[in-house]
Chains A and B, each alone.
Chain A
Amino acid sequence: MKILVVDDSPESLLLLKQHFLTLGHETLTATNGAEAVTAYQDGLPDLVIMDVEMPVMNGYQATARIRHIDHRRWVPILFLSANTDDSERTKGLEAGGDDYLVKPVNLFLLNNKILALRRVADMQEQVARYARQLQANLEQNRDERLLARYLLDHIIRQDKAEPDLVTSWVSPAQHFSGDVVMTARSPGNELNVLLADATGHGLSAAISVIPVIESFYSMTEKGFSLASIVRELNRKVKQLLPIDRFVAAAVISIDFTNRTIRIWNGGAPEVFFVSDGGNILRTWQSTQPALGILSDAEFDSVPQFFYWQEAGEVVMCSDGLPEAEDSNKIPFSMTQFKQLLGRPYGTGRFNLVKESLKAHIEGSQQLDDISLVTVRCCMESAAAGLAEQSSQSQHSADAGHSCWRLKLCLGAQEIKKLDVLPLIMNWLDQLHIGGHNRGQAFLVLSELFNNALDHGILKLDSQFKQDPHGFEQYIELREARLSALKEGTVEVEMERLNIEGQDRLSIKVKDSGPGFDFVGMIAKRESAPDQFSGRGIMLVKQLCIKLEYLGNGNEAFAIFSLN
């Protein structure tokens, strides 16, 4: 230990110096307060033994100065004085000293005092080290949090938000939200909305939800069905996250042209369809465990289905909403939530829920992330139409000379297993069918392919669809027949051609079924435009330059213009 000894008496100084030397300490010396301050600054001692009465500057003044010198460590100062008065001792402590010893010095007592001060100094040093470490950790933590925040803010694509249709509110329990709301449009312009809620909250939950985000966007854009998307999300979460982490999710896919909603709910609270009058017309419970729990073989991705006959909203929330507790630990509850939804549309029911919930949790700690989403489903198909696929490559100007032909023959096994449309769309992307044309091609293709499959191969009667309630039965029957399918083929042929200098795309879809009365169907449809079935085929007719049925009606042929 390095000890600074300050005393104006050369004898005392020598005595103490010798004493410390025999104990194995190094010493610095000063004969007055001013020298002591300089020696302290230059020598950085571990302990100071300070006489009180000295010329030039006394011990109290020197101590006060020393205490003003900013040092990151604490150095004990021990006073030596002939004065035994209590008020003198107090003065010494007030000046910043740590202990007081009366002259003449009892060396045994001095040793013990030094040991005691040393213990305190060591402790002090340890505390200071922890504090520095903590400070460094805090700074690192802040940097990492800023980076994570940036990443998370950018990975959820705000440009894909649909402010006219989708209203959402996410209130994180901590800096980061493990709840995420995403929207994206398919090439056929269906609107997919995902509410995902990862286990726990905070940064660990926010990280857990990342695998879901990119897959949701890219698969939606490629035109994969809801079932395929959900299956992939499950596979990804299962693969990437540890066993005790998973992502509860409600995913919906809305087809505004046909007024249909597909929904998959795994581990999320009930999802509602609330009419504009404020009636809950439909409730979808969670039918599956959350994403990332079951293996691909155990996982069931078949969505539920709904056809809306009056305008309304789909309402989704995370479990943080019904479970949010007030200061008396009373949860907000699903009952209260449903009650608030029972108001007519246009009376601010979304904000009512939000404000009521905020008032409810006022003054209590929010334990989980809370989110609320509504998606508008109106009767006009204003939200339908064609998607501008901004992310797709531009249609090149010299494409008029481009010619190719693509033919695909699918047997029963392929029809059952493949998500055919994204497969073909992927080729079209490679062949630079982009922009406006991409959505158009998807719509025509999906309509013709689904007709071939539903009516030609699965022999489903479209009369079913006349009755809106029948639509759901229709979907169930479709699933059942598809999984039992033993034989049948569908051929898809696409050709890019140049007709009289015009750039055209033809699409031919042929099935092995018995065909149907196409002429009769079109006539019926034109005479009763509000009818449900055939709406899709009328849209195709509008999009195409030419649409005709060949053979027994089992072969559809469409040509449309690439521009």
Chain B
Amino acid sequence: MASNVSSRVSDNKALLSLNGRFDFSIHRDFRSNYETILNTAGVNELDVDLNGVDYIDSSALGMLLLLREKATAKNIKMTLVNPKDSVRQVLEVANFGRLFSIT
């Protein structure tokens, strides 16, 4: 399965990049990556890069909600970045624009 999660932190900014299918099958990788980010001192911005994602399902939306909750608790501003049109549509139907900033 071509699906992976990677993360990078530089100064106060963290980037969490997702690729391929974003569904429950990657939740372990997803969690270990965001835990690293949340445990890094000084991070106050988190961009979740969705550009490489070509499919997103409802459990993935749930994973994003969970991350949002955890980021908010640590005063980290979370942004969903660059979704492809098909993914953007799913986010729109879910009205995630009201919950996340999406760029």
Which chain A residues have a beta carbon within 8 Å of chain B's beta carbons?
197, 199-200, 242-246, 248, 266-269, 285-290, 293, 319, 323, 367-368
By secondary structure, the A interface counts as loop
* Cross-chain contact A199 with B93 (CB below 8 angstroms): no
Q: How far is the CA of A21 from the CA of B68 in the complex (A)?
A: 68
User: B23, B24, B58, B66: which contacts A197 (Cβ < 8 A)?
Assistant: B58
The chain B residues found within 8 Å of chain A, CB to CB, are 23-24, 57-59, 61-63, 65-66, 69, 90, 92-96, 98-99
Cβ B61 vs Cβ A199 within 8 A: yes
Assuming the contacts A200-B24, A244-B66, A246-B65, asked whether A289 and B96 have C-beta atoms less than 8 A apart, the reply is yes
**Residues A368 and B95 in contact, CB atoms below 8 Å apart:** no
The verdict on A288 contacting B58 (CB below 8 Å), with A243-B65, A244-B66, A246-B65 known, is: no
Instruction: Point out the residue from A243, A290, A367, A368 that lies within 8 Å of B94, measured CB to CB.
Output: A290
Pairwise interchain contact B94-A200, C-beta atoms closer than 8 A: no
By the criterion CB–CB under 8 Å, are A319 and B58 in contact?
yes
Contact assessment for B58 and A243 in the assembled complex, using a CB-CB cutoff below 8 Å: no
Alpha-carbon gap, A472 to B26, bound state (A) = 45
Known interface pairs A367-B57, A368-B57; A319-B93 also in contact (CB < 8 Å)? yes
When C-beta atoms are compared, the residue in chain B nearest to A290 turns out to be B94
Can you sample 13 A-B contacts with CB below 8 Å? A199-B59, A200-B24, A200-B58, A243-B62, A243-B65, A244-B63, A285-B93, A286-B94, A289-B94, A289-B95, A290-B94, A319-B58, A323-B57
Q: Could you say which of B24, B57, B65, B95 contacts A287, with CB atoms under 8 Å apart?
A: B95
Give the CA-CA distance A350 to B78 in the complex, in Å.
43
Give complex CA distance A244, B23 in Å: 12
Cα–Cα distance between A205 and B90 once the two chains are bound (Å): 19
Most B Cβ at <10 Å: residue of A244, A285, A287: A244
Instruction: Give Cα distance in the complex from A197 to B62, angstroms.
Output: 13
Q: Which of B59, B95, B96 has the most CB of A within 10 A?
A: B95
Instruction: Decide: A266 and B58 in contact? CB cutoff 8 A.
Output: no
Q: Who on chain A is nearest to B90 by CB?
A: A319
Cα separation A169 to B8 with both chains bound (whole Å): 45
| A293 touching B65 in the complex, CB below 8 Å, given contacts A197-B58, A199-B58, A200-B58 | yes
**Quick one: which of B62, B90, B96 contacts A199, CB cutoff 8 A?**
B62
A244 and B94 form a contact (CB under 8 A): no
The verdict on A200 contacting B65 (CB below 8 Å), with A248-B94, A289-B98, A290-B94 known, is no
Which 5 A-B pairs give the minimum distances between C-beta atoms?
A: A244-B62, A244-B66, A289-B95, A200-B59, A199-B58
- In the bound assembly, the distance between CA atoms of A290 and B98 in angstroms comes to 12
Minimal Cβ-Cβ distance residue in B for A244: B62
Q: Could you tell me if A267 and B95 are in contact, using CB atoms closer than 8 angstroms? A: yes
Question: Which of chain B's residues have a CB closer than 8 A to the CB of A199?
Answer: 58-59, 61-62
Chain A neighbourhood of B63, CB < 8 A: 244
What CA separation (Å) do A368 and B99 show in the bound complex? 24
Q: Give the docked Cα–Cα distance between A197 and B58 (Å).
A: 9
The reply to whether B93 and A267 contact each other, CB–CB distance below 8 Å, is: yes
When chains A and B are docked, how far (Å) is the Cα of A287 from the Cα of B93? 8
Shortest distance from the beta carbon of A328 to any chain B beta carbon, whole Å: 14
A268 contact set on B, CB distance < 8 A:
93
- Taking a contact as CB atoms closer than 8 A, the residue among A200, A245, A266 that contacts B95 in the complex is A266
Report how far A395 CA is from B38 CA in the complex, Å: 63
- Alpha-carbon gap, A285 to B69, bound state (A): 26
| Minimal beta-carbon separation of A299 from chain B (angstroms) | 11
Which B residue sits closest to A329, measured CB to CB?
B55
CB contacts (< 8 Å) of B69 on chain A: these are 243
Chain A residue contacts of B96, Cβ below 8 A: 289
Chain B residue, CB-CB nearest to A241: B62
- State A266–B93 Cα separation when bound (angstroms): 8
A200 contact set on B, CB distance < 8 A: 24, 57-59, 62
Q: How far is the CA of A288 from the CA of B58 in the complex (A)?
A: 15
Docked complex Cα distance between A286 and B96 (Å): 11
Residue of B nearest to A288 (CB): B95
CB distance from B100 to the nearest CB of A (A): 10
Give 6 new A-B contacts, CB below 8 A, not counting A199-B61, A243-B66, A246-B58. A243-B65, A246-B61, A248-B94, A267-B93, A285-B93, A319-B93
Contacts of A289 in B (CB 8 A): 94-96, 98-99
Known contacts A200-B24, A200-B59; is-contact A286 B65 (Cβ 8 Å): no
- Give the distance in Å from the alpha carbon of A268 to the alpha carbon of B57 in the complex: 13
Cβ contact within 8 Å between A286 and B95: yes
Q: Could you tell me the distance between the alpha carbons of A342 and B24 in the complex, rounded to whole angstroms?
A: 35
Bound-state Cα–Cα, A268 to B58, Å: 11
Contact B62 A245, beta carbon cutoff 8 Å: yes
On chain A, the residues within 8 Å of B92 by CB distance are 286
User: Which residues on B sit within 8 Å (CB–CB) of A245?
Assistant: 62
Q: List the B residue with the shortest CB-CB distance to A242.
A: B66
User: In the complex where A243-B66, A319-B93 touch, is A248 in contact with B58 (Cβ < 8 A)?
Assistant: yes
- Alpha-carbon distance A287/B66, docked complex (angstroms): 22
Provide the bound-state CA to CA distance between A533 and B24, in Å.
52
B20 to nearest A CB, angstroms? 12
